A and B are shown apart, each in its own frame.
Chain A
Amino acid sequence: MKLDPSFIWTAFVQILSAIPTTLYITVVSVLAGFVIGIVVALIRIYRTPGLYPLAVGYVTFIRGTPMLTHLLLIYFGLPMIIDGLAVQFGWSFRSVSIPMIGFAYIAFSITAGAYMSEVVRSGLLAVDRGQIEAAHSIGMSTPQALRRIVFPQALAASLPNLSNSVIGMLHGSTLAFTVSVVDINAQAQIVASTNWKFFEAYLAAALIFWGLTFLIERATALIEKRINLYNRGGVA
């Protein structure tokens, strides 16, 4: 079989329609994961009684198992739980009405939360203790100090790692095809299934992923430039 360069372009155009699906999965899992990550990181740093072991257990389990496994566990496990509860409490809701992409959202948010909690945690730990002490010393409460002083600096410190997490989730979102979600990769497979030009189709998909990743990296660089203004002097 010979390479068909023109089909790369044909496939490229046909795959474009799947970009939103991939972006939805990425954005939802990154945003939800970021919120989960902040909560888990704070629980771990402040060693909140009762929640601390749960947080540690969550992070070690999720990081110790593949992302595909999370998706499969949610896909097969969540309906059992939901339908079991529905029967018990007499709800009319059933798990079949959950769209397939919903399982990807939930599973990947859980995955992202564990990874991003580590990113957030190291960002928070990178902020000097003196910063929060200075905030306390002028009478700010701990939530005020975290919000106004610690988080902005932690965010700046963890930006490169956050960017890596976003890229990781973008690439990981391809696993959603296992629960019949048509993302970029799945679309490539569909496009090629009529003429078997899989190589051309997957090459087109690769170019799209590369482009998206490039955009994320550019955006990170821009944000970094803006919020790291205060490091201009380059001290410490």
Chain B
Amino acid sequence: MIKLEHISKSFGRHQVLNNIDLKVSKGEVVVILGPSGSGKTTLLRCVNYLEKPSGGEISIGEFKLDCRHARKKDIHQLRQKTAMVFQQYNLFRHKTALENVMEGLLIVKKLPKEAAREKSIALLEKVGLGAKLDAYPSQLSGGQQQRVGIARALALEPEVILFDEPTSALDPELVGEVLEVIRKIAKEGITMIVVTHEMGFARDVANHVVFMDGGVIVEEGTPSEVFNHPREERTKQFLKRITPELNYSI
């Protein structure tokens, strides 16, 4: 289980996250919604320690990290237990698809080359890129790049994968293939926290939906609770704006 307790983050005087508490059970898919600037990206980055939280605690299973007194070793451990899929893919540009996936296995997990290779090929086949092993990122479409990014994250067998708007940089016709892959791995019981504006996907795949605004969690619950019976005014307004068709169906 992953537990975030009292996570706060300020950039200078600007407080972006204010005392966030969140629990994610093993195998659960949590979708985070919220307007631009509400702190969704920052929250994910804090969990991966790409951003140092100003305060709070992150626990993953037995492992616990107090953000105020985190040592290098703790941060390293936390990063091994979490993996990030970036909005802009951030594939290593000078490495092929296969090398991108192998990198963490070789350098961080210290797997022998042959084993790393085999595992990486299997993962790339799983995301439908068995034919693109030797392609460089510049030779791949956005959707293909993002699927490599997902394979790279999966390779490390993290406790949780963090997705930050994984499809929002994609052309509309490429969104489906990436969501399909995410759906597939969600079914395998991999724990994930997903920031997305894809409401259909959120309804289908999420076990738990969190609505954030202004650096706090305004409301959370099952998809049907949050989407069909939102309690908070701010949630209602947000949903109305983002899914205008809801006005007709109600």
Residues on A lying within 8 angstroms of B by beta carbon are 128, 130-131, 133-141, 144, 148-149, 152-153, 156, 227, 229-236
Q: Which of B31-61 contact A (CB under 8 A)?
A: 48-50
Q: How many residues of B contact A (CB 8 A)?
A: 29
Task: Give chain A nearest CB distance to B147 CB in angstroms.
Answer: 15
B92 touches A234 (CB 8 A): no
CB-defined contacts of A149 to chain B, threshold 8 Å: 92, 94
A134 touches B107 (CB 8 A): no
B94 touches A136 (CB 8 A): no
A148 touches B93 (CB 8 A): no
Interface presence of B126 (CB below 8 A):
no
B92 touches A134 (CB 8 A): yes
A235 touches B138 (CB 8 A): yes
A138 touches B104 (CB 8 A): yes
Contact with A130, one of B90, B94, B139 (Cβ below 8 angstroms): B90
- Answer whether A141 and B92 are a contact pair too, CB < 8 Å, given A148-B107, A229-B136: no
Q: Nearest residue in A to B155 (C-beta to C-beta)? A: A138
A-facing mask of B205-228, CB < 8 A → 1, else 0? 000000000000000000000000
Q: Which of B106-148 contact A (CB under 8 A)?
A: 107-108, 136-139
Q: A135-B103, A138-B103 are in contact. List 15 more A-B contacts (CB 8 A).
A: A133-B90, A136-B79, A137-B82, A138-B155, A138-B156, A140-B103, A140-B104, A140-B107, A144-B108, A230-B94, A230-B136, A231-B138, A232-B138, A233-B136, A233-B137
Interface presence of B182 (CB below 8 A):
no
A137 touches B84 (CB 8 A): yes
Question: 26 interchain pairs (CB within 8 A)?
Answer: A131-B92, A133-B90, A136-B48, A136-B50, A137-B82, A137-B83, A137-B84, A137-B86, A138-B79, A138-B83, A138-B103, A138-B156, A139-B79, A140-B108, A149-B92, A153-B93, A156-B94, A230-B93, A230-B94, A230-B95, A230-B136, A231-B138, A232-B139, A233-B136, A233-B137, A236-B138
Task: Give chain A nearest CB distance to B163 CB in angstroms.
Answer: 12
Q: How many A-B residue pairs have CB under 8 A?
A: 83
A234 touches B79 (CB 8 A): no
Q: Nearest residue in A to B96 (C-beta to C-beta)? A: A230
Q: Nearest residue in B to A134 (C-beta to C-beta)? A: B90
Task: Give chain A nearest CB distance to B76 CB in angstroms.
Answer: 6
CB-defined contacts of A230 to chain B, threshold 8 Å: 93-95, 136-138
Task: Give chain B nearest CB distance to A207 CB in angstroms.
Answer: 38
A137 touches B138 (CB 8 A): no
CB-defined contacts of B50 to chain A, threshold 8 Å: 133, 136-137
B76 touches A141 (CB 8 A): yes
Contact with A137, one of B48, B93, B94, B139 (Cβ below 8 angstroms): B48
A130 touches B76 (CB 8 A): no
B107 touches A130 (CB 8 A): no
CA distance A128 to B88 in the complex (A): 11
Interface presence of B19 (CB below 8 A):
no
Q: Which of B8-30 contact A (CB under 8 A)?
A: none
Interface presence of B80 (CB below 8 A):
yes
A137 touches B79 (CB 8 A): yes
B136 touches A130 (CB 8 A): no
Interface presence of B91 (CB below 8 A):
yes
CB-defined contacts of B82 to chain A, threshold 8 Å: 137
Q: Nearest residue in A to B140 (C-beta to C-beta)? A: A233
Task: Give chain B nearest CB distance to A147 CB in angstroms.
Answer: 9
A139 touches B93 (CB 8 A): no
CA distance A236 to B94 in the complex (A): 13
Q: Nearest residue in B to A127 (C-beta to C-beta)? A: B93
B107 touches A234 (CB 8 A): no
CB-defined contacts of B84 to chain A, threshold 8 Å: 133-134, 137
A139 touches B138 (CB 8 A): no
CB-defined contacts of A137 to chain B, threshold 8 Å: 48, 50, 79, 82-84, 86
Q: Nearest residue in A to B95 (C-beta to C-beta)? A: A230
B90 touches A144 (CB 8 A): no
CB-defined contacts of B90 to chain A, threshold 8 Å: 128, 130-131, 133-134
CA distance A236 to B83 in the complex (A): 26
CB-defined contacts of B153 to chain A, threshold 8 Å: 138
CB-defined contacts of B83 to chain A, threshold 8 Å: 137-138
CA distance A141 to B84 in the complex (A): 16
Contact with B138, one of A128, A130, A134, A233 (Cβ below 8 angstroms): A233
